[in-house]
A and B are shown apart, each in its own frame.
Chain A
Amino acid sequence: MQLSPKIRNAIALASLCVSANALAEPAKIGMITTLSGGGASLGIDIRDGFELALKERNNQLGGIDVDMIIVDDGRKVDNAKQIARRMVERDQVDIMTGIVWSNLAMAVIPSVTADGTIYISPNAGPSLLAGKRCHPNYFNVAWQNDNLHEAMGQYVSDKGYNKVYLIAPNYPAGKDALAGFKRFYKGQIAGEVYTKLGQVDYAAEIANLRAENPDAVFFFLPGGMGINFTKQYAQAGLKESIPLFGPAFSFDEGILKAVGDAAIDTMNTSQYSHDLDNSANKAFVAKFMETYGRKPSLYASQGYDAALLLDSAFRAVGSDYKNREKFRAALAKADFSSVRGDFRFGPNQHPIQSIYVRKVVREGDSVTNQLVGTVFTQHQDAYASECKMK
């Protein structure tokens, strides 16, 4: 069939229109997170928090339609890498988020940010990405890994404990945790133990610990490991004589439900608590409980804040969001009301925020966290000065 020049021009014009229209097509956000296997409850909380913010906004962020692609990584590095490549190459997502674990984050984030994708971390904050290998396309809306541990180091010192026993799993985030604790703790160290990742039985460590007779124990054992340890510690009859301290990762709402009374009276540090007194948080907690029938954990708050941060940036740049430079500048302003209260980004695009201390209490039928004080205000991570943003 021969096309007359007129028709050909019309087609060309039409296709031009389509490509101009393409700017109004939905922004693509890829979420890689852990939804199955051990540790799934963390990823589910992050996803639910993020989706709640989307639901409240009729599936838009800052007035731009959003196309979410959510994929489960099963907590496996290889899966995460594969999914990330598919999202960048085939789906051509504009923004990525969702990864829970630092080892997965280290395998994915440097390559996707180098490819020009914006990455918003709702959880993992490995030290390298906050310092030497910071990147303009990488933002962390949760914390740098050391932060909550640093706060506990300060708190334990303030309370006058002087002989503390330390336990963490033998992997990078475990070492970061104890390094963070020691950065602010001034007393003696009664012992320092690195356990196997995913360890189930802590009888040997608990017996050794008792033999050292410390005046307090600081432990960082996220997820199921923390449940195992806390239960076994209480059964060994040590909870009353040697108090336990840890970051919020060992005391989130899901863990407390499983541990029950064995955790009561222990203290933990967090940048978030469901009873924080600000209007954004009150609305969030009410909405979250109405939608999902459970209290939001810190992970859920981080997922929600990640969406709010994106919402603020989309609102600022509108359909111009493909312009990375402009979009990054809008993100860096962090112009949103975080559910944790004051929040802004430091020069390495990691949070400057308050860290609180919470106490585990019984509230009616359930065991939950109660805010008891503030350890740090406007706390910045220790690696910001190593970051040379290019």
Chain B
Amino acid sequence: MLFLEQLLNGVQLGMMLFLMAAGLTLIFGIMHLINLAHGSLYMVGAYFTATVTVMSGSFAIGLFGGCVAAACCGVLIELLAMRHLYHRDHLDQVLATFGIILTANEATKMIFGPQALFLNPPDWLSETVQILPDTPYPAYRLFVIISGIVVALFLRHLITHTRLGMLIRAGATHREMVTALGFNISLLFTVVFALGAGLAGLAGGLAGPLLAIEVGMGEQILILTFVVIIIGGIGSVKGALVAGLLVGIVDTLSRAFLPTLLKTMLPTASADALAGSVSSMAIYIVMALVLIVRPEGLYRAYGT
């Protein structure tokens, strides 16, 4: 029973990572742009969700507000900064987006203050539910899992069944051809960037009731997100889903069961210390293994 519960926890973490990674991998795969500021958009989403929720009294409206705010910030960033960097080296993009992280953090501190914001789940989600016998599970975590599934289905529909999705797939692999056919590629880029930013904002808003909404919260999840898109294959949303779940489950299970496992072999004190270190490395070990077997990641971007 504990195992199933921990598996569920892993899936929930995986869904959060998927929401972050889906946007990042689209931007990375289609625009060939390294966007370190993705974590800042996540932070913007969380801050605006908290603020709008308090103002409107409704978490749903707050979540929507956070999503829209992040997408708007995304459009601004794309128009003001990214647009000038598409033809530049990746290093320039890293520098510019790192600059955006610093600016976003300081701006957030100036607007919202240095202390963490308050956001709790809405009342109807703050209870626990019995989905497994004898294990009360937080309703809010189930809500996050369901939101992740809904977003995954939505993205699947968007990418495989709509005109925008077709352009996204085409843009990922045959960028020149898309331009040659007369499509406005820079508009497409703005739309993709806004979509990715909106997803990051949604992830931030969903994380709000679980986590501390504070300056610098984006950087903590950004590294994990990069691990996810590298394992999943850059540019592939399906890869982001599979890798997100894989990372979430590996991370949770190693934290949950490594200490007990090691204690069967080692004295308690050293087992505790070792388990702490090994479980924080577990996902990087998985990443290394995946890269040895499939250097391009689990899935390729569309078309190839």
Residues of A within 8 A of B (CB): 36-38, 40-41, 44, 170, 192-196, 198, 200-201, 203-205, 207-208, 211, 223-225, 227-228, 231-232, 235-237, 254-255, 257-262
Contacts and interface: CB of A to CB of B under 8 A. Distances in A.
A369 to B, nearest CB: 15
28 contacts: A37-B215, A38-B216, A38-B219, A170-B276, A193-B259, A193-B276, A194-B272, A194-B273, A194-B275, A194-B276, A196-B279, A201-B210, A203-B12, A204-B9, A204-B252, A207-B6, A228-B212, A231-B212, A232-B210, A235-B128, A235-B138, A235-B140, A235-B141, A236-B138, A237-B136, A258-B117, A258-B213, A260-B120
Given A38-B214, A41-B116, A195-B255, 12 more contacts: A37-B105, A40-B215, A41-B115, A194-B273, A204-B9, A207-B5, A224-B212, A225-B212, A231-B212, A232-B210, A237-B136, A260-B120
Interface of B: 2, 5-6, 9-10, 12-13, 16, 105-106, 109, 114-118, 120-121, 126-128, 135-136, 138, 140-141, 207, 209-217, 219-221, 252-253, 255-256, 259, 268, 272-273, 275-277, 279-280
Nearest to A230: B212
A208 B2 contact: yes
Given A204-B252, A236-B128, A40 B272 contact: no
A292 to B, nearest CB: 11
Contact of B280 (A170, A223, A228, A261): A170
Q: Among A192, A235, A262, find the residue whose CB has the most chain B CB atoms closer than 10 A.
A: A235
A352 to B, nearest CB: 31
Q: Which 6 A-B pairs have CB atoms at the shortest separation, nearest pair first?
A: A227-B212, A258-B116, A224-B212, A203-B9, A194-B276, A38-B216
A254 B256 contact: no
Nearest to A231: B210
B121 A235 contact: yes
A171 B127 CA distance: 34
B212 to A, nearest CB: 3
B215 A38 contact: yes
Given A38-B214, A207-B5, A235-B138, A260 B276 contact: no
A232 to B, nearest CB: 6
A36 to B, nearest CB: 7
Contact of B116 (A36, A170, A237, A254): A254
Contacts of B141: 203, 235
Contacts of A254: 114-116
Nearest to B126: A235
A297 B271 CA distance: 36
A257 B219 CA distance: 23
Contacts of B256: 204-205, 207-208
B278 to A, nearest CB: 11
A211 B114 CA distance: 37
The interface residues of chain A, by DSSP majority, are classed as: helix
Contacts of B128: 235-237
A46 B213 CA distance: 21
B5 A257 contact: no
B118 A257 contact: yes
A344 to B, nearest CB: 32
A40 B212 CA distance: 13
Given A207-B256, A231-B211, A236-B138, A44 B114 contact: yes
B126 A40 contact: no
A232 B280 CA distance: 20
B39 to A, nearest CB: 12
A37 B249 CA distance: 29
Given A170-B277, A207-B9, A257 B116 contact: yes
Contacts of A223: 212
Contact of B210 (A38, A41, A205, A228): A228
Nearest to A175: B273
A228 B212 CA distance: 5
Contact of A193 (B118, B209, B214, B272): B272
A38 B226 CA distance: 20
Contacts of A224: 116, 211-212, 214, 217
A204 B282 CA distance: 15
B296 to A, nearest CB: 29
Contact of B220 (A198, A204, A211): A198
Nearest to B281: A196
Contacts of B106: 36
B29 to A, nearest CB: 26
B144 to A, nearest CB: 10
A235 B208 CA distance: 13
A170 B116 CA distance: 23
Nearest to A203: B9
